[in-house]
Structure 1
Amino acid sequence: MAKIKPFEQFTQRYEQWFENHYYTYISEVEAVKKLLPSGKGIEIGVGSGRFSLPLGIKFGVEPSLKMAKISKQKGIYVIRAAAEYLPVKNRSFNFVLLVTTICFVDDLKKTFEETRRILKKGGNVVIGFIDKNSPLGRFYQKNKEKNPFYRYAQFYSTEEVVALLKNTGFGNFSFVQTVFYLPENIREVQPVKEGYGEGSFVVIKAQRIER
């Protein structure tokens, strides 16, 4: 089962996080934008559309009813489904976006296999996430039980995500990073740098490789 319980119960708290940490949120949007390809895209784990809307993505997948309703109200076409079982035709999209989604799926390998299946030849997946080895990743893990969302989360390192992407048919990797302080201490939009290992929020772009 997709981990939707906290998103159903604490919808307003989820939304309020983006208001309270506006500059962190904008920094993450800008980082994703750096690696986002052109073409027809879909966001898996679209939530309330906080990323799809500013990035111009018209399609989303979301298991939470309350989150899906918010996205639909913003004009996004939302499919109610889990990431591991996408009711989407093969090779339908030029790119797939997942932002802070991989830590909430039940089976990340299956999620990446499904992502690859719905990508067109040469298509790309773009993944934004909190690296578990970063300062923010360590903070979230240390305080998991205090947070209604992250107590359900499984955090990954960049190396772990890359290894699993390679294993499921992806290559040609690009990386950017941002969020260099804890969100409570961020008072302006953070820079976006190439690579990973410094910033807590990492974005990976990987291309579908034909086997």
Structure 2
Amino acid sequence: MIKSIEFNEHVAEYEEWFEKYPFVFKSEVEAIRDFLPVGDAMYGLEVGAGTGRFSKELGLKEGIEPSKKMRLVAIERGLELMPGDAEHLPFKDLHYDFVLMIFCISYFNNLGASFAEAKRVLKNGGSLIVGFIDKESIIGKAYERRKPFSVFYKQANFYTPEKVIEELKKKGFRNLQFSQTLFHDLDQIKELEPAKPGYGEGSFVLIKAIK
């Protein structure tokens, strides 16, 4: 993953974003929740868990996060986060029922290697769930314009769904499913925006792929 110094030094600003856009966050969480495998015994991992907001809402306990200060906030929220990066997951083979990657793929040094690592730690039949901002969407285009001036986006690589699909298929993932939400500019989202299947309309895209 790309160096995490910006996140390490701007934890407060990162946390403030969630307070500023509560219905954006809620819409994302509910879309992810709909994609999670069902069952009390399901065992999941979040890669690039940040301060743990998504894991906390979704009931996950384990994850990795390279930024020390963000990891400490997540630990205070009751999560069990380890240092590490997506290209070298510190976990054994065939260990998890699902792996969650939410927004973090924009900060990976090597997208394909990260997907390969997720596949390695997944059980056979397990799910990789990838959530990201579509580069060609309303919000994606706004983020691209802000890259030169943004603490968080200047190192980010935003992707189209087609590119993510291509990389997943290269690593042998199958049975891809798609969901999308966030159909307006960030400042216009004042209520929950329910997810719907597919991609190409919503700015936040989820892809669920099976090992």
TM exceeding 0.5: yes
1:2–1:63 CA contact under 8 A, matched in 2: no
Q: 1:47 is matched with which residue: 46, 50, 58? A: 50
- Give, in whole Å, the separation in 2 of the partners of 1:191 and 1:93: 28
- Give, in whole Å, the separation in 2 of the partners of 1:34 and 1:159: 22
Could you say which residue in structure 2 is the equivalent of 1:173?
A: 176
Q: 1:148 is matched with which residue: 146, 151, 158? A: 151
- Give, in whole Å, the separation in 2 of the partners of 1:47 and 1:137: 20
- Give, in whole Å, the separation in 1 of the partners of 2:151 and 2:118: 27
- Give, in whole Å, the separation in 2 of the partners of 1:118 and 1:70: 25
Q: Report the CA distance between 1:169 and its aligned residue.
A: 1.5
SS at match of 1:75: coil
Give the paired residue count.
208
Are 2:93 and 1:90 aligned? yes
Determine what percentage of the aligned residue pairs are the same residue.
43
Q: For residue 154 of structure 1, what is the amino acid of its counterpart?
A: N
Q: Report the CA distance between 1:135 and its aligned residue.
A: 1.1
Q: For residue 13 of structure 1, what is the amino acid of its counterpart?
A: E
Q: Deviations over 1:76-116 (max 9, x none)?
A: 11110011011100011000000000001111111000000
Q: Deviations over 1:136-193 (max 9, x none)?
A: 1111111111210011100110010011000011010111100011111111111211
1:3–1:105 CA contact under 8 A, matched in 2: no
Could you say which residue in structure 2 is the equivalent of 1:37?
A: 37
- Give, in whole Å, the separation in 2 of the partners of 1:121 and 1:75: 29
Could you say which residue in structure 1 is the equivalent of 2:77?
A: 74
- Give, in whole Å, the separation in 1 of the partners of 2:207 and 2:112: 16
SS at match of 1:161: helix
Could you say which residue in structure 2 is the equivalent of 1:185?
A: 188
